[in-house]
Chain A
């Protein structure tokens, strides 16, 4: 029952951050899916692209986590199942956040 206001505010904040970034990224990703490996590496070598992608994926995962948690709170009535699903959601989001940051750093540096 704690910090629901801050969660609500964070969801709106991440949404506002994501609005311009998705317009940029959807267009780029549809292009990127046809590219060869070297071209994609060249795309991530530019620091603007890499940092924008980093902000996008972190904001997206956090926004998704908050949204899924609200859905779980609305529809799942059993207390234990609620705990388990929330744990799985947070585990998946944090795991993918850490792995993406590591791999992005690896791509940029090598």
Chain B
């Protein structure tokens, strides 16, 4: 397969060259040669397209062994998806306030439940986790704290800080 792809790259270059050449002189030999080349190009492009349809997912979640750093990354993305749903819910909350007290009473009947308190507790936990892990990502994008030992250390710090700050918020209220 790799050989074919290499050939395709060479032949596409040749094809463009020959196309330009054909404008200036039309001889049977060159036409025949070009036909063959174009056909091969077409076959290879079809193969490439088929390969692109069944390409593997980028981070192999199911194959690799669970490493702590990978788990952190997966959780960062997972909490990101959850928080984006939360952001939309937040905008719904603000719309309910704008609509008036009759509509807002529906939210109040929801917020008085214990289920909502648990949901809010989990929301604070996820938002703090995403925040502290995001700060770690910001440091990485500047190329700092990239050593494996510091990465593991800051990972533990993230967990401890996120739990501590959620407890702090809920105790202070």
Binding site for A on B (CB under 8 A): 53-55, 57-59, 77, 80-81, 83-84, 87-88, 90-92, 94-95, 97-99, 101, 104-105, 108, 111, 116, 120, 124, 127-128, 131, 134-135, 137-138, 141, 169-170, 172-173
B77 touches A71 (CB 8 A): yes
A34 to chain B, nearest CB (A): 7
Tell me the bound Cα distance from A68 to B104 in angstroms.
30
B108 to chain A, nearest CB (A): 8
A31 touches B173 (CB 8 A): yes
- Asked if A107 meets B87 with Cβ closer than 8 Å, knowing A30-B170, A74-B58, the reply is no
Pairs of residues from A and B, 6 with the lowest C-beta to C-beta distance, nearest first: A103-B98, A64-B84, A96-B91, A37-B101, A100-B91, A74-B58
Q: Report which of B58, B81, B91, B170 forms a contact with A99, defined as CB distance below 8 A.
A: B91
Tell me the bound Cα distance from A61 to B84 in angstroms.
7
Q: What's the interface size class on A, roughly? A: 35 or more
With a CB–CB cut-off of 8 A, which chain B residues contact A53? 94
Label chain A's interface by main secondary structure. helix
Which residue of chain B has the shortest Cβ distance to A53 in the bound complex?
A: B94
B98 touches A30 (CB 8 A): no
Decide yes or no whether A19 CB sits under 8 A from chain B: yes
Q: Report which of B55, B58, B169 forms a contact with A26, defined as CB distance below 8 A.
A: B169
A12 touches B138 (CB 8 A): yes
With a CB–CB cut-off of 8 A, which chain B residues contact A44? 97
A104 touches B94 (CB 8 A): yes
Q: Report which of A31, A33, A57, A75 forms a contact with B58, defined as CB distance below 8 A.
A: A75
A71 touches B80 (CB 8 A): yes
Tell me the bound Cα distance from A22 to B132 in angstroms.
11
B84 touches A67 (CB 8 A): yes
Q: Which of B57, B90, B108, B169 has the most CB of A within 10 A?
A: B90
With a CB–CB cut-off of 8 A, which chain B residues contact A68? 80-81, 84
- Asked if A96 meets B84 with Cβ closer than 8 Å, knowing A15-B138, A22-B127, A37-B104, the reply is no
* Other A-B pairs, 4, CB within 8 Å; known A33-B116, A64-B83: A19-B131, A22-B131, A30-B170, A103-B95
Per-residue CB proximity of A34-54 to B under 8 Å, as 1/0? 100100110010000000010
With a CB–CB cut-off of 8 A, which chain A residues contact B120? 30, 33
B12 to chain A, nearest CB (A): 19
A19 touches B169 (CB 8 A): no
Decide yes or no whether A5 CB sits under 8 A from chain B: no
A92 touches B88 (CB 8 A): yes
A30 touches B87 (CB 8 A): no
- Asked if A106 meets B124 with Cβ closer than 8 Å, knowing A22-B131, A33-B111, the reply is no
User: Can you list 14 A-B contacts (CB < 8 A)?
Assistant: A15-B138, A19-B134, A26-B124, A37-B97, A40-B104, A57-B94, A64-B83, A78-B53, A96-B87, A96-B92, A103-B95, A103-B98, A104-B94, A106-B98
